[in-house]
């Protein structure tokens, strides 16, 4: 039996078992199991033996940095973000990766991330998206609340250190204006149960050609609804969630999946989320 797991704390309802079980089934790996393992922060430092007992695992908050001390090697993506969300057990050698960036890039494949991009928020996911956008040639506007200005400035410095010719500016989210090829919501505004909230004005949405929202619950945020009502492309967070899992399977055992199969899993996740909220 190949054992895989998600570690984090606290672990409430998670879509991970649904996604990974479907990916294992597509790979014909019926001898694989996927479980949720809740590890309190004070216990993570003593978890090396547990990690070694698993063929592979995913890592979520608050352990993405703490597990770095427990692995033997970091992949390039984990080094770039100093953050691990996927670990491969290669015959007892633990190698850490970050597949969140792959999840974003693959789900945003048809979106203009190399254009004029407004990113709402600069937290963990916003930081990753901003850096990836800069590395792909996007002109970035970081739109944040006043309390996050200092963090936004630190992020801007980090982006420029990694990509010296990047174009980055910081604005108060309430003052965001101008036209954008892509508007990305990397804040929790609009997340279930506060589904009637939207991080920006209708005018900002009207002036954006396309929208990406990292939120997957609800499957269609108010921001996405407004964008689609205007005939714009809007992509939700379920695709990012599934594609980062797909990358994990590629790392763990060389899994290969068609676009059609991945699209079906994204739909299954969205249907599960919608059923959960009824």
Q: What is the pLDDT of residues 150-173, one digit of tens each?
A: 999 999 999 999 999 999 999 999
Nearest alpha carbon to residue 116 among 59, 29, 182:
182
For the record, the structure tokens of 219 come out as: 């499957």
Identify whether residues 28 and 56 lie together within a single domain. Answer: yes
Q: Are residues 116 and 208 in the same domain?
A: yes
229 and 108 inside one domain: yes
Instruction: Give the range of the structural domain holding residue 149, as residue numbers without chain letter.
Output: 102-235
Cis preceding-peptide flag for 126 (omega within 30 of 0) = no
Q: Is residue 22's pLDDT more than 90?
A: yes
For 115-156, the pLDDT digits (tens) are 999 999 999 999 999 999 999 999 999 999 999 999 999 999
Whether residue 78 is found in the same domain as residue 198:
no
Q: Are 265 and 223 found together in one domain?
A: no
| Of 266, 245, 240, the residue nearest 86 (C-alpha) | 245
Say whether both 110 and 24 belong to one domain. Answer: no
Q: For 174-229, how does the pLDDT look when each residue is reduced to its tens digit (9 = 90+)?
A: 999 999 999 999 999 999 999 999 999 999 999 999 999 999 999 999 999 999 99
Judged against a pLDDT cut of 90, whether residue 23 lies above it is answered with yes
pLDDT digits (tens, 9 = 90+) for 64-116: 999 999 999 999 999 999 999 999 999 999 999 999 999 999 999 999 999 99
| Separation of alpha carbons 73 and 56, rounded Å | 14
Look up the CATH number of the domain holding residue 181.
3.40.50.720
262 and 166 in one domain?
no
Same structural domain, 77 and 112? no
Are 83 and 164 contained in the same domain? no
Instruction: For tokens 């200005």, name the residue.
Output: 149
* First vs last C-alpha separation in the chain: 36
Together in a domain, 142 and 36:
no
194 belongs to the catalytic site: no
**In the prediction, which pLDDT does 238 show?**
98
Please report which residue ranges of 145-221 form alpha helices under DSSP H: 149-162, 202-206
Residue of 3, 22, 64, 225 marked active site: 64
For residue 1, what pLDDT is reported?
A: 85
H/E stretch holding 5 reads strand 2-8
Give the other-Cβ count within 10 Å of 170's Cβ: 17
Please indicate, yes or no, whether residues 111 and 227 belong to a single structural domain of this protein.
Answer: yes
CATH code at position 19: 3.40.50.10860
Residues 72, 194, single domain; the answer is no
Question: Is the confidence at residue 13, as pLDDT, over 90?
Answer: no
Classify residue 257 by burial, with Cβ atoms within 10 Å: 0-12, 13-18, 19+: middle
**Number of domains, the chain:** 2
């Amino acid at each position: 039996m190949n054992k895989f797991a998600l570690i984090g704390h606290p672990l409430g309802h998670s879509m991970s078992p649904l996604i990974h079980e479907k990916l294992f089934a597509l790979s014909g790996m019926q001898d694989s199991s996927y479980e949720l393992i809740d590890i309190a922060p004070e216990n993570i430092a003593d978890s090396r033996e547990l990690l070694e007992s698993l063929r592979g695992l995913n890592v979520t908050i608050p352990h993405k940095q703490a597990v770095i001390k427990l692995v033997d090697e970091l992949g390039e993506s984990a080094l770039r973000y100093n953050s691990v969300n996927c670990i491969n057990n290669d015959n007892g050698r633990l190698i850490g990766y970050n597949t969140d960036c792959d999840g974003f890039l693959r789900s945003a494949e048809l979106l203009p991330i190399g254009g004029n991009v407004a990113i709402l928020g600069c937290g963990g996911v916003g930081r990753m998206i901003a850096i990836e956008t800069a590395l792909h040639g996007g002109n970035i506007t970081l739109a944040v609340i006043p309390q996050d200005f200092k963090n936004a400035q630190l992020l801007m410095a980090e982006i420029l250190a990694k990509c010296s010719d990047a174009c980055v500016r910081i604005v108060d989210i309430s003052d965001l204006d101008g036209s954008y090829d892509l508007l990305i919501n990397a804040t929790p505004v609009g997340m279930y149960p506060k589904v009637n909230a939207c991080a920006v004005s209708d005018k900002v949405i009207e002036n954006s050609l396309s929208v990406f929202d990292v939120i997957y619950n609800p499957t269609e945020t108010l921001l996405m609804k407004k964008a689609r009502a205007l005939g714009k492309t809007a992509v939700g967070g379920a695709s990012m969630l599934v594609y980062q899992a797909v990358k994990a399977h590629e790392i763990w055992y060389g899994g290969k999946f068609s676009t059609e199969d991945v699209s079906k899993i994204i739909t299954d996740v969205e249907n599960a989320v919608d059923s959960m909220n009824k």
